[in-house]
């Protein structure tokens, strides 16, 4: 048959396969693609076309054959020739010290060496390679037998269908974790939400659910990835000396290895690795629930042996849980600065993410409905890093008979004004404006905050007292406070009262963008405040601008223009502004004018990862507007790397080169004030 195939077609198909496999490795193994997704797709399409025209070209290990199998009725059972082990857990430093001590005692030596790696939160699988070709994929199951998921693992682009390089055993088994990177998980859930489908609670469940699809086409549509961490069936004489060397061999054969793998010494090395990774945990592109230490040398591992189903030569050092279950005691409503009503769950106190949590935001009424969270429900609470705790989901199976649905009140709990739900908006708002004591209080706190007027020492508790004692009505009143008045307040003395008066005095010399931002106009953040100052010279022209003039400013759309114009139409607001000027607030009207626009001239920025409040293109535009250069690659000449969530290799490169790294708030500060 092969005689019918034109040689140039055979050559081209081989070339395409090689290129596609190379780009798969660049993407999955090194996290450094060298071509765009569209170019990759073009290569794959060309190969598909060739194989359609010449079906004899098709081989099972061709990259076109990842999705090809028909749906199964059920998974077949696979008995593991070598059991798939689980790991013992360590929760505290002491457990790790004990682990290392037991090893030193048994081996009768002091110089323990380990391989340390992230503990991925996914699904353990075994991959069997024969003559360099992937022939079987299986789940761990109970460790002795699992399910045959060959058709599904073949759809995972990170898993090579054919190994590269040479020197691999004729038959051997790779073990590792299938997982769903965070970006893929978020994108998948976003789509599911838009389509009104069920969302996955976490990437682990999503990975497990995706791999256990009977239809491989369904698995192929899920953004799964894979890292190896061990072996099963393997000719003993072919094993290298250490776990690390085996991982290096795997890497040379095109199998993806976690770039965080390190060789470390002793228990102290383990603990240092743990702390470093815990600090960087949320910046990693995938979820981990701890780290794993494995004794480095295979002869040492053999000497340590196994207990029950776990090796004595490895341990999983878990991070503190970020999720816990507790009960919703009540759902209360908080009123924000712009009147937005946020339902907040009052919880039975629970220790999660390293702190005791008693409240968690529920965002808005839609969210409460979507997650079906009721008063008295048992719920899963999550506190990841320093992020505000949130209720992930309710547990309907444990729902008590007295569980009650939450209803958004029709009247503001703080002032009794009517609650409005704007067309197309999920957010309910109090219509009371500054008449509402809750909005009033939040407006004053915002005015004093660091990014606004930066009044040092004017904290939340103090604002509460000033309002309760009626020492302050509008923000202008703050500037009329005397040391004597302040010294009488709780937890204040003469010294702190003097400091506060001095801080108020100092804050009078401000900038127009800061002042505009401090006014708390709806939707006007720091970037817009700066743009207003930049494009309309002076406060009076901003006040006088009509909606058309406002919309001519970058970033200002019709809604925002309406909010701004409405704010300056209110006589009350104009009076407060007059009053603030009268008590001495001042700024240079032209400070943010065209001359100030080049604040970032000479600076080079690299943007990586996802930003919350703006797209990368918007960030780029804003940086360029301030005179900065925005580049695609990190070098020693880079002034700043702006790292959003899921920042990858560029962030690592910046860390390596010692380039200053900004998070999103740092970027916004820079865009707002030209300073951090
Ligand atoms: C995970 N889940 O990341 C092991 N694992 O080793 C790593 N799991 C393991 N190693 C032996 N990195 C049994 C399980």
State if residue 117 touches ligand 1 by the CB under 6 angstroms criterion: yes
521-539, pLDDT tens digit by residue? 988 988 889 889 988 879 9
State if residue 229 touches ligand 1 by the CB under 6 angstroms criterion: yes
Candidate list 18, 119, 198, 495, residue with the active-site label = 119
State if residue 587 touches ligand 1 by the CB under 6 angstroms criterion: no
Which atom of ligand 1 lies at the shortest distance from residue 227's CA? 3
Q: What's the CA-to-centroid distance between 119 and ligand 1, angstroms? A: 6
**Is there a single domain that holds both residue 448 and residue 561?**
yes
Q: Is 198 marked active-site?
A: no
Question: Quick one: three-class SS letters along 567-605?
Answer: HHHCHHHHHHHHHHHHCCCECCCCCCCHHHHHCCCCCEE
Mutate to test the pocket of ligand 1, among 89, 146, 180, 229 (most ligand atoms within 8 A of CB): 229
Nearest CA to ligand 1 atom 10: 229
**Is there a single domain that holds both residue 286 and residue 198?**
yes
Nearest CA to ligand 1 atom 12: 119
Question: Which pLDDT does position 68 carry in this prediction?
Answer: 64
| CA atoms within 13 Å, Cβ hemisphere of 470 | 0
pLDDT band at 506 (very low <50, low <70, confident <90, very high): very high
Q: What's the CA-to-centroid distance between 142 and ligand 1, angstroms? A: 15
Q: What's the CA-to-centroid distance between 269 and ligand 1, angstroms? A: 19
Q: Of all helices (H) and strands (E), which one includes residue 138?
A: strand 133-139
Q: Alpha-carbon distance 642 to 622, whole Å?
A: 13
449 occurs within a structural domain: yes
Mutate to test the pocket of ligand 1, among 88, 116, 119, 125 (most ligand atoms within 8 A of CB): 119
Phi then psi for residue 459, to 5 deg, are: -90, 180
Average pLDDT over residues 247-265: 96
168 occurs within a structural domain: yes
Q: Return the DSSP state at 256.
A: -
Which atom of ligand 1 lies at the shortest distance from residue 258's CA? 12
- Bridge partners (DSSP) of residue 125 are 139, 176
74 occurs within a structural domain: no
Mutate to test the pocket of ligand 1, among 118, 177, 291, 296 (most ligand atoms within 8 A of CB): 177
Q: Quickly tell me which residue has 């010692």 as its tokens.
A: 658
Q: What's the CA-to-centroid distance between 247 and ligand 1, angstroms? A: 13
Q: What's the CA-to-centroid distance between 546 and ligand 1, angstroms? A: 62
Nearest CA to ligand 1 atom 14: 86
412 occurs within a structural domain: no
Contact assessment for residue 71 and residue 77, using Cβ atoms and an 8 Å cutoff? no
- Give the CA angle between residues 402, 200, 37 to the nearest 5°: 160
Q: What CATH number does the domain containing 16 carry? A: 1.10.287.610
Q: What CATH number does the domain containing 573 carry? A: 1.10.150.20
pLDDT tops 70 at residue 595: no
416 occurs within a structural domain: no
2 occurs within a structural domain: no
Q: What's the CA-to-centroid distance between 155 and ligand 1, angstroms? A: 22
13-70, pLDDT tens digit by residue? 999 998 998 888 887 767 677 887 778 888 988 998 999 899 888 887 888 878 767 7
Q: What CATH number does the domain containing 164 carry? A: 3.30.470.30
Question: Which pLDDT does position 35 carry in this prediction?
Answer: 83
Q: What CATH number does the domain containing 355 carry? A: 2.40.50.140
Structure tokens given for 101: 């001590």
**Is there a single domain that holds both residue 142 and residue 271?**
yes
SS3 655: helix
- Classify strands 640-643 and 604-608 as parallel, antiparallel or unpaired: parallel
73 occurs within a structural domain: no
Question: Which pLDDT does position 377 carry in this prediction?
Answer: 96
Q: Of all helices (H) and strands (E), which one includes residue 675?
A: none
pLDDT tops 60 at residue 674: no
Dmax (CA) for the chain in angstroms is: 101
- What is the total count of domains within the chain? 5
Last residue of a domain, one of 373, 398, 423: 398
State if residue 314 touches ligand 1 by the CB under 6 angstroms criterion: yes
Q: What's the CA-to-centroid distance between 296 and ligand 1, angstroms? A: 14
335-390, pLDDT tens digit by residue? 999 899 999 999 999 988 778 899 998 988 888 998 999 999 999 998 876 678 98
449-478, pLDDT tens digit by residue? 988 999 999 999 999 999 999 999 999 999
**Is there a single domain that holds both residue 308 and residue 347?**
no
**Is there a single domain that holds both residue 551 and residue 486?**
yes
Last residue of a domain, one of 258, 286, 318: 318
87-128, pLDDT tens digit by residue? 999 989 999 999 999 999 999 999 999 999 999 989 999 999
Q: What's the CA-to-centroid distance between 62 and ligand 1, angstroms? A: 29
Q: Alpha-carbon distance 465 to 584, whole Å?
A: 24
The percentage of the chain sitting over the pLDDT mark of 70, rounded to a whole number, equals 96
Question: Which pLDDT does position 596 carry in this prediction?
Answer: 47
State if residue 87 touches ligand 1 by the CB under 6 angstroms criterion: yes
Q: Of all helices (H) and strands (E), which one includes residue 175?
A: strand 171-179
State if residue 177 touches ligand 1 by the CB under 6 angstroms criterion: yes
**Is there a single domain that holds both residue 149 and residue 195?**
yes
**What DSSP string runs through 595-639?**
GGGGTTTT-EEEEESB-SSS-HHHHHHHHHHTT-EEESS--TT-S
Last residue of a domain, one of 582, 603, 626: 582
Nearest CA to ligand 1 atom 4: 229
Average pLDDT over residues 206-211: 90
Q: What CATH number does the domain containing 655 carry? A: 3.40.50.10190
**Is there a single domain that holds both residue 449 and residue 357?**
no
Mutate to test the pocket of ligand 1, among 84, 86, 87, 117 (most ligand atoms within 8 A of CB): 87
State if residue 646 touches ligand 1 by the CB under 6 angstroms criterion: no
Q: Of all helices (H) and strands (E), which one includes residue 430?
A: strand 428-430
**Is there a single domain that holds both residue 366 and residue 442?**
no
Nearest CA to ligand 1 atom 5: 119
Which atom of ligand 1 lies at the shortest distance from residue 294's CA? 6
State if residue 622 touches ligand 1 by the CB under 6 angstroms criterion: no
208-240 residues labelled b (16+ CB within 10 A) or e (exposed): bebbebeebebbbebbbbbbbbbbbbbeeeebe
Q: What range defines the domain where residue 625 resides? A: 594-673
Which atom of ligand 1 lies at the shortest distance from residue 230's CA? 6
Q: What's the CA-to-centroid distance between 9 and ligand 1, angstroms? A: 43
Sign of the CA dihedral with 397 first, then 401, 402, and 408 last = positive
Highest mean pLDDT among 22-36, 307-321, 465-479, 549-563: 465-479
pTM for the model stands at 0.60
577 occurs within a structural domain: yes
384-419, pLDDT tens digit by residue? 766 789 898 899 899 999 999 999 999 999 999 999
């Amino acid at each position: 048959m092969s005689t019918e195939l034109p040689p140039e077609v055979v050559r081209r198909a081989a070339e395409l396969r090689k290129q596609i496999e190379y780009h798969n490795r660049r993407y999955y193994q090194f996290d450094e693609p060298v071509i765009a997704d569209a170019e990759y797709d073009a290569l794959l399409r060309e190969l598909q076309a060739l194989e359609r025209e010449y079906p004899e070209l098709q081989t099972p290990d061709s990259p076109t054959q990842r999705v090809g199998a028909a749906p199964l009725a059920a998974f077949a059972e696979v008995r593991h020739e070598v059991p798939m082990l689980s790991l013992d857990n360590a929760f505290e430093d002491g457990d790790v010290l004990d682990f290392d001590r037991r090893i030193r005692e048994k081996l009768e030596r002091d110089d323990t060496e380990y391989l340390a790696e992230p503990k991925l939160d996914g699904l353990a699988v075994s991959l069997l390679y024969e003559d360099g070709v992937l022939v079987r994929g299986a789940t761990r199951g109970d460790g002795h037998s699992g399910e045959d998921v060959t058709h599904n693992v073949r759809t995972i682009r990170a898993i090579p269908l054919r190994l590269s390089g040479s020197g691999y055993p004729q038959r051997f088994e790779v073990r590792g974790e299938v997982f769903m990177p965070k970006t893929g998980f978020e994108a998948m859930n976003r789509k599911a939400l838009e389509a009104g489908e069920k969302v996955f609670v976490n990437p682990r469940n999503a990975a497990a659910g995706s791999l256990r699809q009977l239809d491989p086409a369904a698995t192929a549509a899920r953004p799964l990835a894979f890292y190896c961490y061990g072996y099963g069936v393997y000719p003993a004489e072919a094993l290298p000396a250490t776990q690390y060397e085996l991982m290096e061999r795997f890497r040379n054969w095109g199998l993806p290895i976690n770039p965080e793998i390190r060789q470390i010494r002793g228990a102290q090395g383990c603990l240092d690795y743990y702390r470093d990774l815990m600090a960087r945990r949320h910046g990693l592109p995938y979820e981990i629930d701890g780290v794993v230490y494995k004794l480095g040398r295979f002869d040492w591992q053999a000497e340590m042996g196994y207990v029950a189903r776990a090796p004595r030569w490895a341990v999983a050092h878990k991070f503190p849980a970020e999720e816990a279950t507790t009960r919703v005691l009540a759902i209360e409503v908080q009123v924000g600065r712009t009147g937005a009503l946020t339902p907040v769950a009052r919880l039975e106190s629970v220790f999660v993410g390293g702190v005791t949590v008693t409240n968690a935001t529920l965002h808005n009424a839609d969210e409460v409905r979507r997650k079906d969270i009721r008063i008295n429900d048992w719920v899963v609470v999550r506190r990841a890093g320093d992020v505000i705790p949130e209720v992930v989901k309710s547990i309907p199976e444990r729902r008590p008979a007295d569980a009650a649905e939450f209803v958004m009140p029709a009247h503001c709990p703080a002032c009794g004004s009517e609650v409005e739900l704007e067309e197309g908006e999920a957010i309910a708002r109090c219509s009371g404006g500054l008449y509402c004591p809750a909005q009033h209080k939040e407006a004053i706190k915002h005015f004093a905050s660091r990014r606004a007027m930066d009044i040092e020492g004017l904290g939340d508790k103090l604002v509460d007292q000033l309002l309760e004692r009626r020492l302050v009505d509008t923000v202008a009143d703050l500037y009329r406070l005397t040391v004597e008045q302040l010294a009488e307040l709780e937890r204040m003395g003469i010294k702190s009262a003097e400091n506060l008066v001095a801080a108020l005095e100092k804050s009078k010399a401000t900038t127009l963008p800061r002042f505009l931002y401090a006014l708390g106009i709806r939707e006007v953040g720091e970037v817009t405040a700066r743009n207003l100052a930049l494009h309309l010279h002076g406060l009076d022209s901003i006040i006088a601008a009509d909606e058309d003039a406002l919309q001519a400013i970058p970033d200002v759309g019709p809604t925002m223009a309406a909010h701004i114009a409405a704010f300056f139409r209110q006589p009350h607001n104009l009076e407060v502004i007059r009053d603030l000027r009268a008590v001495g607030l001042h700024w240079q009207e032209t400070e943010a004018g065209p001359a100030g626009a080049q604040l970032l001239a000479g600076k080079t920025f690299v943007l990586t990862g996802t930003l919350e409040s703006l797209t990368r293109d918007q960030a780029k535009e804003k940086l360029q507007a301030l005179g900065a250069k925005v580049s695609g690659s990190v070098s020693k000449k880079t002034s700043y790397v702006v790292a959003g969530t899921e920042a990858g290799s560029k962030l690592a490169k910046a860390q390596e080169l010692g380039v200053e790294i900004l998070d999103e708030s740092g970027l916004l500060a820079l865009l707002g004030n030209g300073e951090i």
